[in-house]
Copies of this chain bind each other. A is one copy, B any other.
Amino acid sequence: MALFEVLIDIAHLPGVADPAGATVERALPALGYTNVSDVKIAKSIRLTIDAPTAEAAETQVREMCERILANPVIEDYSLRISETTSP
């Protein structure tokens, strides 16, 4: 078994409203930032998982995303997995 660090990026699916991002985008011009657009606010989750291989870690994390971490109806997720050097 080895320890893997996983970074999960959970973003809204295209077409799903992002009120937090829209609010920030509307606030920026008042602060002088008029050259910013397409502000999207999403969630990222970091975790450490003990698994035999990187593939096993990825399979389990995808299952966790579908069941609890993300809402597949409105969210999409991407993973980055790296083996930790110090177990």
* A binding-site residues for B, Cβ under 8 Å: 9, 11, 21, 24-25, 27-28, 31, 33, 35-51, 60, 64, 67-69
Contacts and interface: CB of A to CB of B under 8 A. Distances in A.
Nearest to A3: B37
Contacts of A37: 47-50
Give the secondary structure class of A's interface: strand
Contacts of A64: 28, 31, 33, 36
B43 A39 contact: no
A37 B5 CA distance: 10
Contacts of A11: 44, 46
Nearest to A61: B36
Contacts of A31: 64, 67-68
